[in-house]
Amino acid sequence: GGLTTIYSTIYQSRSLGSFSVSATTVAAERPRKRQRLSSAAVSIPRTSPISNMRSPDENGENGHQNGLVTLQNGQTDISHSPLCTSYNGYDREQVSRLLVQALHDLGYEKAASSLEEESGFTVESNHISQFRHAILDGQWTEAESLTSSLDLRHDIRRENLLFLIRKQKFFELLEMNEVQKALKVLRNELSHLDQDPEELHHLSSLLMTASVEDLKEESGWDGAAGQSRKTLLARLQVAMIPRARLASLLDQAQCYQISKCLYHTSTDPTSLFYDHNCSKSEFPRTTIKILEAHTDEVWFVKFSHNGRYLASASKDATVIIWNLETFESLHRLVDHCKAVTCVDWSPNDAQLLTCGQDFLIRLWDVAIGRCIRIFEHHQDSVSCCAWLPSGNAFASASMDQDIVLWRLDGAITYKWSGFRIYDLTISNDGEYLVSICTEKKLHVYHVPSQQFISDAQLQGEPTCVTFAEDSQHVLINTSAKEVQMWYIPEPRLVRKFVGQDQGKYVIRSCFGGPNQNLILSGSEDAHVYIWHRELGTLIERLAGHTGTVNCVAWNSTSVNGMFASAGDDQLIRM
């Protein structure tokens, strides 16, 4: 009864809003797998040059903006101040303090002390040191009083710091079962700081938690004895130099150089002594092996996660598993009675999914090359299949307008309907399922909740979609003669890669390179096209096939870079 009164009191003092989201879907016309597109689709003109849009970048504690506050907090001995205040254009004090921190990190305590004495600069001032200890020791009154002596950045209000500090105090009081004191903090200290009403609403709901475990689960907070105080300190970042800041700056410099290296495929560590630059001669531009065993067009290829095997699917109704140490056929899977459209390796590479135009999905034991289960549901060609990261379930999609989530025992756990699906892909973190359909749309679903999230209209007929390892970006090939990279959480178009020929057939692309810094795609002009992901620059146009190149796949475990291409000439080129 007492808690109910408390809870009611809180709600009488705040008016909180709500919102809702709805979505609609549209049905589509039915094409056949690899069916030639209409003349209207074939004549779609090439779109504008590559966009300069860039994907979002979330800066953590070592990013370019470090927390809420910026101070000049090093103690300076004027008698030791150098005549020149800059070092090659950089502030001498900042450079000195970074070096002092780095020397401490490296264990060179005497050298660090010597540099502090000679330069007159320390890593942090007394005020900053006192503030840090107050936060870590839970001395909230002292921490709040010290905020008045901090030189805050002009766009940051002191109230923002106070809210974070008082919220931590609120959590710790609840953890100690001091509900009345926590309520007092919420009503008298937090609610007057002009913060987001929704967050205050959430904090008030925590008063009703039944246990400390519930409090931690619902708030995402790990307790006073956990990392919460250190996390709070990192969020405040009161001009304390972030941990290992010099190492972070070196990482950023190296990542920047690698991002600008056109031919980067090396996995070797980069040197700090020289600018990074990969030679074109080291780029995988030469065919090292041609795999010949299929008797019709090869439509799909995919490497196992360990990089030791390659699976290829063909119009000849077979799937071949290749041993990449010998480049010989390990197993030839022949149970499908029509063309095979897609394959996918299980997360542990022990099993392989295949699907095709016989409306069936088959599960294979890779070690023995035997089909161990058949999944029947679809009433039309099964265009794609993809494992969930758990390895205990997978998804399939078809021209019959169904996307199906399966358990390995054959049970269907969920089904989305309404669109004829060309392809689907699942993010590595298992959060997103993205599909493309004949309505020229991409659809985004949240896999854990099985909820539809959003969709977006595409330019041109889409033929394939594949996730990047970051679980944020996908590639989509379209009949508008371009490969598009989309940012999925919003979703929005990030960049276009143009040059390849596409308009009639299903063409597949992939991310490549050691940091997925490359984009590779097949083409109807019998070439493989390779672009630099960040710059959008076309860096290679590789010949070799004598017909349409239907699919390319990158071997992520290869030290020097290896990929496979599959074509209408019945060949796989390595």
Q: 134 and 145 in contact (C-beta within 8 Å)?
A: no
Q: How many Å apart are CA 420 and CA 438, to the nearest integer?
A: 6
* Rounded-to-integer distance, Cα 44 and Cα 466, Å: 23
Q: Quote the tokens at residue 277.
A: 């630059």
Question: pTM of the prediction?
Answer: 0.68
441 contact partners, CB below 8 Å, separation of at least 6 = 419, 455, 456, 457, 458
pLDDT exceeds 60 at position 28 = no
The least confident of 52-66, 119-133, 441-455, 553-567 is: 52-66
Tokens at 405, concatenated: 């989530």
Nearest of 53, 57, 59, 58 to residue 486 by alpha carbon:
53
Q: How far apart are CA 574 and CA 568, in angstroms?
A: 15
Cα separation, 211 vs 246, in Å, equals 43
For residue range 472-485, list pLDDT tens digits in order.
999 999 999 999 99
Q: How many CB atoms lie within 10 A of CB 362?
A: 22
Closest listed residue to residue 379, CA positions, set 353, 396, 358, 365: 358
pLDDT band at 30 (very low <50, low <70, confident <90, very high): very low
Q: For residues 397 and 390, give the distance between their C-alpha atoms in angstroms, rounded to a whole number.
A: 19
- What confidence score (pLDDT) does residue 276 get? 85
306 pLDDT more than 80? yes
User: For residue 17, what are its two tokens?
Assistant: 């809003």
Residue type, 495: R
Cα distance between residue 288 and residue 279, in whole Å: 19
In the prediction, which pLDDT does 154 show? 67
pLDDT at site 15: 37
Pairing outcome for strands 473-478 and 462-467: antiparallel
Query: 3-class DSSP state for residue 105?
Result: helix
Higher-confidence position of 40 and 236: 236
Alpha helices in 301-398 (DSSP H): none
How far apart CA 394 and CA 390 sit, in angstroms, is 9
Determine how many CB atoms are found less than 10 A away from the CB of residue 38: 12
Question: What percent of the chain lies above the pLDDT cut of 70?
Answer: 84
Residues 518-562 pLDDT 10s: 999 999 999 999 999 999 999 999 999 999 999 999 998 887 789
pLDDT in tens, 312-348: 999 999 999 999 999 999 999 999 999 999 999 999 9
Which of 15-24, 66-75, 446-455, 560-569 has the least mean pLDDT? 15-24
Coil, helix or strand for 473?
A: strand
Mean pLDDT of all residues in 194-219: 91
**Residue range 424-449: mean pLDDT, rounded:** 96
Q: What is the pLDDT of residue 464?
A: 96
pLDDT at 304 over 70: yes
